[in-house]
Amino acid sequence: MKKYLLITAITIGMLIMSLSSTQAAKSGFKFGYIDLQKVMALSSQGEIAKQKMQAKQEELRAELQEKQAEISVLKEEFERQGMMLSSEKRKEKENDYQKMVRNFKIFVSDSEKDMKALEGEFLKKMLKELEEVTLEFGKTGKYQLILEKRSGIIYADETLDVTDKLIKAYNKWAEKNQKKKK
């Protein structure tokens, strides 16, 4: 993975150097970079995704607390009555408790997987939308090149950062598409 990133960084660097040396002389050569994480965090679509993720987390957290409370009640009941129960009943209660604990652990694991899947879904959807928006943004802004900040840029002048402009374009795109859906 590190090898791939290094090769990508070197390739992008060479591409920028070759483009800047051959194209910089031409008037109108324009390139910029974006901070994809910032776009995802600050755009309206990113906010919507974050709110949906938090709502799902709260729902799962409440369910987890409920299940944890059930386990605690069963454990307390077992500890209180443990000595008074016959060995058969004690074994049965112990098995019930262990089964609840196993089910709880499975639920926790499944919940984590569900959250990761939901996050992946939102990420995939946003990346697809951003690809479309960035393409249009680049064409209308007459950019020859737009790079992602974390994919190999070691240094770039802050004046080339078009992240905020892209966020505005993405928000407009999202608003326009929401009106179409209604």
Give, rounded to a whole angstrom, the gap between the first and last alpha carbons of the chain: 43
Q: Which pLDDT belongs to residue 81?
A: 79
| Confidence class for position 8, pLDDT limits 50, 70, 90 | low
What is the per-residue pLDDT for 11?
A: 55
Average pLDDT over residues 165-171: 94
The pLDDT value recorded for residue 103 is 93
Q: How far apart are CA 44 and CA 172, in angstroms?
A: 9
Q: For 33-88, how does the pLDDT look when each residue is reduced to its tens digit (9 = 90+)?
A: 999 999 999 999 999 999 999 999 999 999 999 999 998 988 888 778 767 778 88
Res 58: pLDDT:
96
Q: Mean pLDDT for the chain?
A: 85
Under the banding of pLDDT at 50, 70 and 90, the label for residue 25 is: very low
Read off the pLDDT band of 22 (50, 70, 90). very low
pLDDT, tens only, 101-125: 999 999 999 999 999 999 999 999 9
Q: Residue 182: its pLDDT value, please? A: 61
Residue ranges and CATH numbers for the domains of the chain are 2-181 (3.30.910.20)
Identify the CA nearest to 32 among candidates 155, 132, 162, 135: 162
What are 39's two structure tokens? 């776009």
Q: Which two tokens stand for residue 132?
A: 């479309």
Q: Do the Cβ atoms of 166 and 45 come closer than 8 Å?
A: no
- Taking 3-state DSSP, the helix, strand and coil percentages for the chain, each rounded to the nearest 5, stand at 80, 5, 15
Q: Is the pLDDT of residue 168 over 70?
A: yes
User: How many Cβ atoms from other residues are within 10 Å of residue 9's Cβ?
Assistant: 14
Q: Which residues contact 137 (CB under 8 A, 6 or more apart)?
A: 143, 146, 162, 165, 166, 169
